[in-house]
């Protein structure tokens, strides 16, 4: 910020802005004539004018007093009955644009009868927000949740003198709600992920188009374009230059970074990209998102010398950056220190125009990174010290949600402040806290985004008052119950060595016991009762309760889909159905996302739809036929396929190939409603397509007990005993229990010969019959 002019913004107070008693400077007072005027100098940047609008808007909400906005103090229109104005006509809030505190810092100074807000282009706006938050009690807890108290008087201490500068130059998050421009600005977030406009003072820095902060090698050296003619441009893996199946689409390969042609092509593409977007400032030249670094002798020698795979990366990126500097001396080249390149190289140093982005992806997030004894954390502490010795532009990419299950509990909040203190102590300047960028309402997600913003500004802000403020503000009258849930979750014991809190922890991992979620359901029910007449808080409570329901849905026994019981009333499954229905119904209105990965998100949705729509029978039943469509087929397309067949129960069959003899068709007894301690008989309807030249097993089938690690009965059927069409085969009679499953596979053929006695085996249905009374 090279500002030489000072822009003035004044509030000329008709009734207020006078010292109230000895200790206060009053800005507005309820019931007094709306005589004050906010003044913004002509030519002030849009963010100062917006600061005035925000001040006007919230002062009115706080006190009912509408301040007027004018071009400068001289143009102030006296109110009707101007005698009151005459008494305080020289008083003003002066907001001055200055580079004294950087672009984001500010200083609030009371000089009765004046108040000064001095700051940078974003700092002036942040200074106004500080006034409204700290002295007005305004709280911005989500883009849809602002709390504005009703005040008799909006005042600041008469001796106010508060200078603030942020701990981090860039404060960025991808928590979806906190990327919405107005809300992001109120949280003092200034990263390019937020949709910040000119009125917010814009973003602090920007990555070039197609040159974002991660995984740009596949754009800069396209496998699709080059691999066929130049496989040597790409990583050697186990002695071969191989193009993995998905490489063209997902960048599942890496360049060979010691190949001079690769350097030439990448450099030329980087220069083109800068030319296309020269004002961006930062350009990512970074590894793709996989572990397939090049193992060719030249690359391996560099990495060995540097004692890290970052050796080849940094030497390569330095060479690109050296060439870039000749054409664009101010451009910064950013690269990842991620997974295999996280450890800094031993010898090579970063060029002054290279920015490293260090990523914490492997770590334990239950405790601060420098506190957890988990191995990856201990190494991370070493790595960050190594990088920070080389640069004053360290960019830190931190992970703050469960990316496999956004809604599942992710108890990392107690680590967030410690982490930001640790990053500050290690000279991190650019901070990115990755969150639920594709949906809202992850477990305590709004709280996490809010706390991260507060602590990215000031890691020393004490936790306890922040938590109190958020819970009261966001949940209203439900705050005590929401807090009970939070305190319960954060008092669960966890051993950081054996129970790492990883960002892909599956919902079925019982490190957080199911009993907690059962209790949580109770807290949220009480919470819902407390805010049933407050739609805004009721929505916040509903969203939080869905997070608990999501986990319970994947922890509780599913509704049984096969019924062969005389006591259907014992197989309710109703909770799962209720949760599935609620989650599906809320998905669009609340913008829920179940997983970051689109395929996984879709799979969750489809499972919920299946559970939600299932209609449970009520009549007792002693016999059931189960079509093949209800059975699982392992490795479809490899071990077998589902095929149309009109000679079956539901028009389809599972056709098993003759290339293996694995147990590939399966029905879990946990999906069957049966009566315990009663014997059942199972038989299977199968068609064997024989190979006329061979003799041997056609198929084998049985029931296996996983916990007991033993079979409950099985058959092996010889090909020569089978007819041409479908036939029924008795499998066994046994007492079912959960943990068992029915299985079937093509017949075993002699090892090493590789051809079985059959061409294929077709499975139509099972029949399960209750035995005895």
Which residue in 28, 44, 185, 299 binds Zn ion (CB under 5 A)? 299
Q: Does 313 bind Zn ion (CB under 5 A)?
A: no
Q: Does 294 bind Zn ion (CB under 5 A)?
A: yes
Q: How far is the CB of 256 from Zn ion (least distance, A)?
A: 3
What does each C-alpha distance from 472 to 201, 396, 409, 475, 537 come to in angstroms? 30, 32, 21, 6, 10
Q: Does 256 bind Zn ion (CB under 5 A)?
A: yes
Helix (H) or strand (E) holding 514: helix 514-530
Q: How far is the CB of 265 from Zn ion (least distance, A)?
A: 14
Q: What are phi and psi of 242, to 5 degrees?
A: -120, 145
Query: Residue 744: beta bridge partners?
Result: 665, 701
Binding mask 598-637 for Zn ion (x = CB under 5 A): ----------------------------------------
- How do strand 680-690 and strand 726-734 relate by DSSP bridges? antiparallel
Q: Does 51 bind Zn ion (CB under 5 A)?
A: no
Number of residues assigned to the chain: 773
Q: Does 302 bind Zn ion (CB under 5 A)?
A: no
Nearer Cβ to Zn ion (160/299):
299
Would you give the DSSP letter of residue 636? B
Is there a contact between 690 and 758 (Cβ–Cβ < 8 Å)? yes
Q: How far is the CB of 255 from Zn ion (least distance, A)?
A: 8
Burial class of 708 by CB neighbour count within 10 A (0 to 12, 13 to 18, 19+): exposed
Q: How far is the CB of 293 from Zn ion (least distance, A)?
A: 8
- How do strand 354-359 and strand 332-337 relate by DSSP bridges? parallel
Q: Does 270 bind Zn ion (CB under 5 A)?
A: no
Q: Which range touches Zn ion (CB under 5 A), out of 10-18, 294-302, 434-442, 461-469?
A: 294-302
> b/e map of 136-165 (b: 16 or more CB within 10 Å)?
bbbbbbbbebbebeebebbbbebebeeebb
Please report which residue ranges of 71-194 form alpha helices under DSSP H: 83-88, 123-130, 181-186
Which residue in 73, 296, 530, 611 binds Zn ion (CB under 5 A)? 296
Q: Does 156 bind Zn ion (CB under 5 A)?
A: no
Q: How far is the CB of 263 from Zn ion (least distance, A)?
A: 12
Q: Which range touches Zn ion (CB under 5 A), out of 43-51, 255-263, 303-311, 633-641?
A: 255-263
Q: Does 12 bind Zn ion (CB under 5 A)?
A: no
Quick one: residue 215, left, alpha or beta (phi over 0 = left, psi -120 to 50 = alpha)? left
Q: Which range touches Zn ion (CB under 5 A), out of 254-262, 355-363, 666-674, 758-766?
A: 254-262
Q: How far is the CB of 674 from Zn ion (least distance, A)?
A: 59
Helices (H) and strands (E) in the chain, counts: 19, 34
Q: Which of residues 723-762 bind Zn ion (CB under 5 A)?
A: none
Q: Does 62 bind Zn ion (CB under 5 A)?
A: no
Q: Does 124 bind Zn ion (CB under 5 A)?
A: no
- How do strand 665-668 and strand 740-746 relate by DSSP bridges? antiparallel
Nearer Cβ to Zn ion (311/459):
311
Q: How far is the CB of 712 from Zn ion (least distance, A)?
A: 54
Collapsed DSSP state (helix, strand, coil) of residue 173: strand
Q: Which range touches Zn ion (CB under 5 A), out of 292-300, 395-403, 587-595, 716-724?
A: 292-300
Nearer Cβ to Zn ion (234/365):
234
Q: Does 451 bind Zn ion (CB under 5 A)?
A: no
Q: How far is the CB of 294 from Zn ion (least distance, A)?
A: 3
What is the Cα–Cα distance from 192 to 189, expressed in whole angstroms?
9
Question: First CA to last CA across the chain, in angstroms?
Answer: 87
Nearer Cβ to Zn ion (256/763):
256
Interface ranges with Zn ion (CB under 5 A): 256, 294, 296, 299
């Amino acid at each position: 910020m090279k500002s030489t002019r000072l822009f003035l913004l004044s509030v000329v107070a008709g009734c207020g802005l006078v010292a109230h008693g000895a200790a206060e400077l009053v800005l507005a007072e309820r019931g007094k004539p709306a005589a004050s005027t906010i003044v913004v100098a002509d030519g002030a940047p849009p963010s100062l004018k917006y600061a005035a609008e925000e001040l006007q808007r919230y002062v009115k909400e706080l006190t009912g007093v509408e301040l007027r906005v004018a071009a400068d103090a001289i143009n102030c229109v006296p109110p009707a009955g101007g005698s009151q104005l005459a008494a305080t006509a020289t008083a003003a809030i002066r907001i001055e644009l200055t580079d004294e505190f950087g672009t984001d810092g500010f200083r609030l100074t009371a000089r009765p009868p004046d108040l000064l807000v001095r700051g940078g282009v974003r700092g002036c706006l942040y200074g106004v927000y500080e006034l409204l938050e700290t002295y007005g009690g305004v709280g911005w807890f989500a883009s849809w949740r602002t709390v504005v108290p009703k005040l008799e008087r909006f005042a600041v201490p008469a001796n106010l003198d508060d200078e603030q500068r942020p701990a981090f130059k860039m404060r960025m998050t991808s928590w979806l709600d906190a990327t919405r421009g107005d809300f992001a600005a109120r949280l003092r977030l200034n990263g390019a992920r937020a949709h910040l406009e000119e009125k917010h003072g814009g973003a602090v820095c920007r990555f070039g188009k197609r040159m974002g902060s991660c995984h740009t090698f596949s754009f800069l050296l396209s496998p699709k374009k080059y691999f066929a003619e130049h496989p040597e441009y790409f990583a050697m893996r186990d002695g071969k230059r191989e193009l993995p199946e998905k490489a063209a689409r997902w960048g599942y390969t890496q360049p060979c970074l010691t190949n001079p042609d690769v350097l030439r092509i990448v450099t030329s593409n980087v220069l083109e990209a800068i030319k296309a977007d020269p004002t961006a400032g930062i350009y990512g030249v970074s590894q793709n998102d996989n572990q397939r670094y090049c193992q060719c002798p030249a690359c391996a020698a560099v990495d060995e010398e540097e004692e890290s795979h970052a050796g080849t990366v940094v030497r390569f990126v330095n060479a690109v950056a050296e060439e870039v500097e000749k054409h664009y001396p101010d451009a910064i080249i950013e690269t990842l220190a991620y997974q295999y390149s996280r450890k800094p190289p031993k010898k090579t140093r970063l060029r002054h125009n290279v920015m490293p982005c260090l990523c914490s992806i492997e770590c334990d997030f239950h405790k601060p990174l420098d506190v957890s004894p988990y191995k990856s954390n201990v190494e991370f502490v070493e790595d960050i010290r190594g990088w920070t010795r080389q640069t004053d532009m360290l960019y830190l990419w931190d992970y703050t949600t469960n990316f496999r299950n956004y809604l599942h509990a992710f108890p990392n909040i107690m680590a967030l402040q410690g982490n930001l203190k640790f990053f500050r102590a290690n000279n991190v300047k650019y901070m990115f806290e990755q969150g639920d960028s594709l949906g809202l309402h992850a477990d305590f997600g709004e709280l996490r985004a809010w706390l991260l913003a507060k602590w990215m500004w000031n890691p020393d802000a004490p936790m306890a008052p922040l938590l109190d403020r958020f819970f009261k503000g966001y949940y209203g009258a439900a705050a005590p119950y929401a807090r009970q849930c939070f305190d319960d979750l954060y008092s669960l014991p966890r051993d950081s060595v054996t129970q790492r809190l990883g960002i892909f922890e599956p919902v079925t991992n019982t490190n957080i016991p199911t009993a907690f979620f059962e209790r949580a359901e109770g807290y949220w029910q009480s919470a819902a009762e407390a805010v049933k007449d407050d739609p805004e808080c009721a929505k916040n409570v509903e969203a939080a309760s869905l997070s608990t329901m999501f986990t319970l849905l994947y922890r509780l026994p599913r509704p049984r889909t096969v019924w062969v019981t005389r006591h259907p009333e014992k197989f309710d499954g109703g909770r799962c159905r209720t949760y599935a229905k609620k989650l599906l119904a809320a998905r669009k209105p609340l913008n829920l996302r179940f997983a970051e990965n689109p395929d996984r998100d879709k799979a969750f949705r489809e499972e919920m739809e299946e559970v939600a729509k299932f209609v449970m029978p009520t009549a007792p039943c002693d016999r059931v036929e189960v079509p093949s469509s209800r059975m699982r087929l392992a490795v479809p397309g490899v071990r077998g396929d589902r095929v149309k067949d009109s000679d079956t129960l539901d028009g389809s069959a599972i056709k098993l190939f003759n290339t293996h003899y694995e147990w590939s068709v399966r029905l879990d007894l946990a999906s069957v409603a049966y009566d315990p301690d009663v014997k059942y008989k199972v038989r299977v309807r199968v068609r064997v397509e024989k190979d006329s030249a061979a003799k041997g097993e056609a198929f084998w089938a049985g029931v296996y007990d996983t916990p007991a690690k033993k079979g409950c009965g099985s058959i092996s059927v010889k090909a020569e005993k089978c007819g041409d069409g479908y036939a029924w085969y008795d499998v066994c009679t046994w007492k079912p229990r959960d943990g068992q499953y029915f299985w079937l596979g093509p017949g075993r053929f002699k090892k090493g010969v590789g051809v079985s006695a059959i061409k294929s085996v077709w499975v139509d249905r099972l029949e399960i019959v209750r035995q005895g009374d």
